[in-house]
Amino acid sequence: MAVSFVPLRLSAQASSPVAPRRELVESVVKEAYDKFRNEAKGKNADYIPYLAQVDSKLFGIAIVTTDNQVLTLGDVNYSFSIQSISKVFTLALAMEELGPDKTFERIGSEPTGRAFNSVPAVVDMPTHTGNPFVNAGAIATTSLISGKDANEKWDKILNFYNKVAGEKLTLIEEVYKSEAATNTGNKALSMLLAKYDRIYADPFESVDIYTKQCSVGVNASQLARMGATLANNGVNPASGEQVIKREDVPYILATMTMAGLYDSSGSWAWHVGLPAKSGVGGGIVAIAPGKGAIAVFAPPLDEAGNSVKAQEVIDYVAQKLNYNLYSPSSVGLK
């Protein structure tokens, strides 16, 4: 299968001085695709009925650079549910409205070291939910979004996602219905948050909006562009629009580093060294600040809820291209 690489648009900004050569990126991505395409470990999420039925052999890789070059390989046009990756961008919207300090005060940014749907983690945190990427924290973050009613809040969230992706995204109704019928655990978390005054709107309304945001459809190319917007100081590299406040980006990336891959985030930081966020729909997006983002879609997950193939591909690509933020070679020091 050939690698598709769309050249930069004339309106794009200058390329990063530490970005790898295009030919090298093409070669490394093709190597990663061939190396891991037959990986059989993991299984689809089955606690959401819709996800259990997704073809487990789907596999796509997309890279979008800060100068808007787009590299794709595999099943990059298949629209899958964004799931927990949505938490990154709802956090960005909450920070847009409240600022980073108030958002941190109400939500926090501490790793829990527990499963993403942990109930004890809510109780153990002394003043807030833990972080915006566990379910309780994500529901609380969604509850921060302003609006006169649920529809206005939801429209605001989806429109913000559209701007970050540079394309119109849509709700996958089947996913939403499937999740809404099985989200009693999240409803229970919302009521526990209410008990401790850690949710800031109606609990069940907040859960419903959160369920919708997780059910948004996105393909690997769109997801990579959303990541590249973070890599590009909040400017969408395709549209040139400042979608996320420049000053908010470091906080978002720091939270992705600490909690982006659930309770295996520490292992990810150790081995890969990139801010990233996974979703149980099978996607992972990783950010190389100033360079771009890589998104990989492959449904089978490990026990922590992270795509097996996506982790392997991003790890391989990050090492080959010197993306690891903790390595001096990531900024060209030999």
pLDDT in tens, 106-136: 998 887 766 676 777 776 666 777 899 999 9
**Mean pLDDT of all residues in 165-192:** 95
- CA dist 298 and 197 (Å) reads 38
Rounded Cα distance between 107 and 198, Å, is 8
Within this chain, domains 4-77+219-278+307-331 and 84-214 share the same CATH topology: yes
Binding residues for substrate, by number, are 84, 135, 179, 186, 210, 262, 280
Q: How far apart are CA 219 and CA 98, in angstroms?
A: 30
Radius of gyration of the chain (CA): 18
Domains of the chain, by residue range, sit at 4-77+219-278+307-331, 84-214
Between the CA of residue 305 and those of 120, 158, 246, 269, what are the distances in Å?
19, 24, 30, 16
Residue 99, classed as helix, strand or coil, is: coil
At 60 the three-state DSSP class reads: strand
Tokens 């690489």: give the residue. Answer: 5
How confident is the model over 230-278, as pLDDT tens digits?
A: 999 999 999 999 999 999 999 999 999 999 998 899 999 999 999 999 9
Look at residue 210 in the predicted model and tell me its pLDDT: 98
Under the banding of pLDDT at 50, 70 and 90, the label for residue 1 is low
Give percent of the chain with pLDDT exceeding 90: 81
Is the Cβ–Cβ distance between 282 and 298 less than 8 Å? yes
Q: Which of residues 31 and 126 earns the better pLDDT score?
A: 31
The DSSP 8-state label assigned to residue 182 in this structure reads: S
278-300 pLDDT, tens digit each: 999 999 999 999 999 999 999 99
pLDDT at 126: 62
Amino acid at 19: A
- Is the pLDDT assigned to residue 7 strictly greater than 60? no
Residue 11 has pLDDT above 50, yes or no: no
In what helix (H) or strand (E) does residue 106 lie, and over which residues does it extend?
A: helix 100-107
pLDDT band at residue 2 under the 50/70/90 scheme: low
23 vs 210, higher pLDDT: 210
Question: How does DSSP classify residue 48?
Answer: S
Which residue matches tokens 């979703």?
279
Provide the annotated binding site: 84, 135, 179, 186, 210, 262, 280
Angle in degrees, CA 119, 120, 122, rounded to 5: 70
Over residues 99-111, mean pLDDT: 91
Question: What does the pLDDT read at residue 13?
Answer: 54
Q: To the nearest whole number, what is the mean pLDDT of the chain?
A: 92
The pLDDT value recorded for residue 3 is 67
Q: Which residues are within 8 A (CB) of 292 and not within 5 positions of it... i.e. 6 or more apart? A: 16, 19, 63, 64, 65, 66, 69, 224, 227, 228, 231, 232, 237
What's the rounded Cα separation, in Å, for the pair 283 and 272? 16
Residue 313 CA to residue 283 CA, distance in Å, equals 12
pLDDT at position 252: 98
The pLDDT of residue 8:
42
Average pLDDT over residues 208-217: 98
What's the burial of 14, exposed, middle or buried (CB within 10 Å: 0-12/13-18/19+)? exposed
CATH 3.40.710.10 fits 4-77+219-278+307-331, yes or no: yes
Number of helices and strands (H, E) in the chain? Answer: 14, 8
Domain made up of 84-214: CATH architecture: 3-Layer(aba) Sandwich (3.40)
Q: Which helix (H) or strand (E) holds 218?
A: strand 217-218
121 vs 69 pLDDT, higher one: 69
Phi/psi of residue 179, each to 5°?
-75, -40
Q: What pLDDT is recorded for position 56? A: 97
Alpha carbon distances (Å) from 54 to 42, 49, 68, 260: 14, 10, 30, 23
Rounded to whole angstroms, how far apart are CA atoms 332 and 334?
6
14-18, 21-25, 152-156, 259-263: which is most confident: 152-156
